[in-house]
């Protein structure tokens, strides 16, 4: 029973859950842990910890950046973090969940159906491939990513999807100062600019995390993103 924990934790993050959202989050956590017994979805196996370290952690984005009515892409969504949590808490959000691992996406399709969510879909493939085509390039108001790659690399994977005027929200640890300064050149080359880094504490824990907000101020040059081999070998 994680509902009381969510009912206390969400307002502490400045988030007022819409009607039915807490029950949906609870069901999502239940389905996650059930499937986790047969498929590797998360290393966290205790319901209260899923509530804190996954659900509340992802919900913290809403205290940093307003998402109502936006078109959002979640890069490397895994089991749906933060994309599914955000969709449940902000029903007007249009969400695309991108991952290179198809079996996780199959589970997410099934789960979003079971939760009765509309306006959310999956996209299978590598982040650096889909953004080369017109269908997705600079088509999103907001791109999120959590626990996928170091910021320098991640910026090349994510910023090409963001429309000028939109933002890339990177979920990081509070120890990411060095990573952030190392990514300065990449962010500028890709048309981004650091707007802010916001640290928060996950309610009910001593865990502190960070949201890095990078705004898109100009179009990403067509030569980006490069192939993953090049990104890895020679990060911007
Ligand atoms: N964001 C989720 C979370 O916070 O729990 C999942 C994090 S998991 C450690 C990283 C995910 O990113 C994996 O599901 C992996 O398949 C995906 N991934 C890594 N590199 C990717 C790429 N270049 N394109 C698409 N997905 C990628």
Task: Give the count of beta carbons closer than 10 Å to the beta carbon of residue 135.
Answer: 9
In contact, 9 and 204? CB cutoff 8 Å: yes
Bond prior to 232 in cis (omega within 30° of 0): no
What is the reported pLDDT for 1?
85
What is the reported pLDDT for 93?
98
What residue spans of 143-217 are helical by DSSP H? 151-158, 177-182, 184-189
19: CA distance to ligand 1 center in Å? 30
Separation in Å, CA 41 to CA 36, 69, 197, 202: 5, 29, 28, 21
Q: Which of 100, 161, 207 to mutate to test the pocket of ligand 1 (most atoms within 8 A of CB)?
A: 100
What is the reported pLDDT for 13?
96
Task: Give the count of beta carbons closer than 10 Å to the beta carbon of residue 166.
Answer: 20
Q: Which of 83, 85, 148, 154 to mutate to test the pocket of ligand 1 (most atoms within 8 A of CB)?
A: 148
What is the reported pLDDT for 162?
98
What is the reported pLDDT for 208?
98
CA 137 to mean position of chain CA atoms:
18
Averaged pLDDT in 10-residue chunks for the chain of 236 residues: 95 96 98 97 96 98 97 98 98 98 98 98 97 96 97 97 98 97 97 98 97 98 95 90
Say how far apart CA 76 and CA 97 lie, in whole Å: 8
DSSP E strands: which ranges in the chain?
A: 71-75, 94-99, 120-124, 140-146, 162-173, 192-201, 208-216
């Amino acid at each position: 029973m994680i509902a009381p924990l969510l009912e206390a934790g969400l307002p502490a993050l400045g988030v007022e859950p819409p009607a039915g959202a807490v029950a949906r989050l609870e069901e999502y956590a239940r389905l996650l842990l059930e499937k986790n017994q047969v498929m590797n979805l998360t290393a966290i196996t205790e319901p209260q910890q899923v509530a804190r370290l996954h659900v509340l952690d992802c919900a913290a984005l809403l205290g940093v950046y307003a998402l109502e009515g936006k078109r959002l892409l979640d890069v490397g969504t895994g089991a749906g973090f933060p994309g599914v949590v955000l969709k449940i808490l902000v029903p007007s959000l249009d969400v695309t969940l991108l991952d290179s691992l198809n079996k996780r996406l199959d589970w997410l399709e099934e789960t979003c159906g079971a939760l009765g969510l509309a306006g959310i879909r999956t996209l299978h493939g590598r982040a650096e491939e889909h953004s080369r085509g017109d269908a997705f390039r600079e088509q999103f108001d907001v791109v999120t990513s959590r626990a996928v790659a170091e910021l320098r690399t991640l910026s090349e994977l994510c910023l090409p999807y963001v429309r000028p005027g939109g933002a890339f929200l990177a979920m990081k640890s509070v120890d990411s100062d060095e990573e952030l300064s190392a990514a300065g050149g990449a962010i500028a080359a890709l048309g981004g600019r650091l707007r802010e880094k916001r640290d928060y504490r996950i309610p009910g824990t001593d865990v502190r995390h960070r949201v890095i907000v990078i705004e898109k101020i100009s179009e990403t040059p067509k030569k980006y993103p490069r192939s993953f081999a090049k990104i890895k070998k020679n990060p911007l």
